[in-house]
Structure 1
Amino acid sequence: MIRSLLCSLACTLAVPAIADGEDRGYGLAGILSASNKEDLPPIILSAGEPLAQAQWELRSGTYYEFEIQGDGSQELALVGPEFFRAIWIDEIVVEGLEIRPLGLDSIEFDEAGVMEIGFVAIKPGQYHLKVPGSTGDTQRLEITIK
């Protein structure tokens, strides 16, 4: 029931017009339709390695999916409460288990594994995800929602 309420909310969100003024053709599923989905490059959790190759530039109202890949080289986490509050998380998938949270503050990998997150970008602004306690730029992913 909560999922259907959230889907109804997500489907009624205002979506910014595209530059050429054409309809995006979302179909009956609204912003959750396949024509409004984009895949993002994965985030890599590995000791001493960069999280990502480039910052993310997202559009409000677009559905995104990305993977977080932990190689198990070290117990590593990602924090980004401001970013997680600027998006609507549809689901998190871990080893075939689907989780539909109402919110998220951080995630942690104690061992090797893959997590997939699907979300709708909502609130425009500048955000980041980072490895807690780190100070290096490579341990931080800058995210812009337009």
Structure 2
Amino acid sequence: MYKSIIAMAAAALVAGPAGAAPLCSDLGFAGLLAKCNRGDPIAITLASGQPLGEGDVTLQSGAYYEMKITADGSAELALSGPDFFRAIWMNEIVINDIEIRPMAIDSLEFDDAGEAVLSFIAIKPGRYEVGIPKTAGDSQKVVISIQ
């Protein structure tokens, strides 16, 4: 019995968590950026006195995502989340049809109305928060979990 328990534990360690695999089994030439490996888009809204999003977000490690951040221009607002931004591989940030390929970011700040689209692959499992700096309300942050 003792040997079978050790064998099951070893098999679980080798297999890893079920949620850590990409969304599709045949990634093809595009690899992790393949269309079949894309998760649902994430919408964030920066507006004075309004919630950032609609509840917590769960991502799958190894899957490709897009986060669309829209500011309505009602106030000068930033979106900060350095721990989250270090847990992903950033493909690009698109602002006004300008593609930026950063190594890492800490935050994005909007002085006026506008939109930024971040495309990335979720990498490091954990629970992260992105939010408006120096605010304490629960509606001023979004909890993002990577499984």
Cα distance per residue 1:51-78 (max 9 Å; x no partner): 0011110000000012100000000001
Secondary structure of the residue aligned to 1:108 is: strand
In structure 2, C-alpha distance between the alignment counterparts of 1:137 and 1:65, rounded to whole Å: 23
Corresponding residue for residue 79 of structure 1: 80
Report the counterpart of residue 119 of structure 2 in structure 1: 118
Post-superposition offset of 1:38: 2.1
Q: CA deviation at 1:138?
A: 0.1
CA distance in 1, matches of 2:74, 2:40: 26
- Maintained 8 Å contact 2:19/2:60: no
Task: Check if 1:42 corresponds to 2:43.
Answer: yes
Q: 1:123 to 1:90 in 2, by over 3 A?
A: same
Task: Pick closer, same or farther for the CA change 1:133–1:34 going to 2, 3 Å.
Answer: same
Please provide the CA RMSD for this pair. 1.9
Q: Give 1 or 2: higher helix fraction.
A: 2
2:28 equivalent to 1:27? yes
**Alignment gaps of 5+ in structure 1:** 1-14
2:90 and 2:119 in contact (8 A); partners too: yes
Q: Which of the pair has more CA radius of gyration? A: 2
Where do 5+ consecutive residues of structure 2 fail to align? 1-15
AA aligned to 2:43 is: P
The number of residues matched between the two structures is 130
Given the two structures, how large is their TM-score scaled by the length of structure 1?
0.84
Q: CA deviation at 1:41?
A: 3.1
